[in-house]
Amino acid sequence: MTGRSDVELMLALKAGDENAFTELVNRHRDAVVNLTYRYLGNQTDAEDLAQEVFLKVYRARGRYEPSAKFTTWLYRVAANACLNEVRDRRRRPTFSAAALDEPSAPGADRSAASPPEEAERSELKEQVRAALAELPERQRLALLLNKFHGLGYEEMAESLAMSVPAVKSLLVRARENLRVRIEPYLRTGIDRAGERRGVR
């Protein structure tokens, strides 16, 4: 069982092997939960959405054709689920950007006992998270797929149903927007100030 590829598992599921689904979930749960968590910024919502992603995979088993790499297809399902979730939340009056700002991990909060350096690092992380949460949805998704999940331009294009040049441009804008938002927190280049003074 353990030696089966993702595609083999998916085809087995299509043929009625329910254990194949369990194996697929076990194999990809952390990647999917990580993506939904980084996208939504909330642990409970992230697991609920990740569950929806796998249920969509389950429901699509009968139509599955191994035309693309399984993970590309899985990320496509996950990306759509993320985009739909945010769209649906916007329609609900309770949604706000603050919902994306939940402190990320146990111990990540800034306690009074933290040494100043740690508190500074923690603040920086929060700023980066907040800046990431403020990015337009597709830019955020593109950045996450690229930085955390190692998807190349072509795989991202398939996952986000866009052309490769469009993905490239999305990534450029995402990085640039993020840079502008966290610029005050970026380390100043050693010779930057002097060079700029010299140039102008």
Q: Would you tell me which residues interact with other proteins (CB under 8 A)?
A: 18, 21-22, 25-26, 29-30, 32-34, 37-38, 43, 46-47, 50-51, 54-55, 58-59, 104-105, 108, 124-125, 128-129, 132, 143, 146-148, 153, 168-169, 171-172, 175-176, 178-179, 182-183, 186-187, 189, 191-192, 195-196, 198-199
- Between 73 and 177, CB nearer to other proteins: 177
Q: Give the nearest distance from C-beta 4 to other proteins in angstroms.
A: 16
- Between 91 and 200, CB nearer to other proteins: 200
Angle between helices 6-14 and 18-40 (to 10 degrees): 120
- Between 129 and 138, CB nearer to other proteins: 129
Interatomic CA distance for residues 156 and 147, integer angstroms: 11
Angle between helices 116-134 and 164-182 (to 10 degrees): 140
> Going by C-beta distance under 8 Å and a sequence separation of 6 or more, which residues neighbour residue 32?
50, 53, 54, 74, 78
Q: Give the nearest distance from C-beta 93 to other proteins in angstroms.
A: 27
Start-to-end CA span in the chain (Å): 66
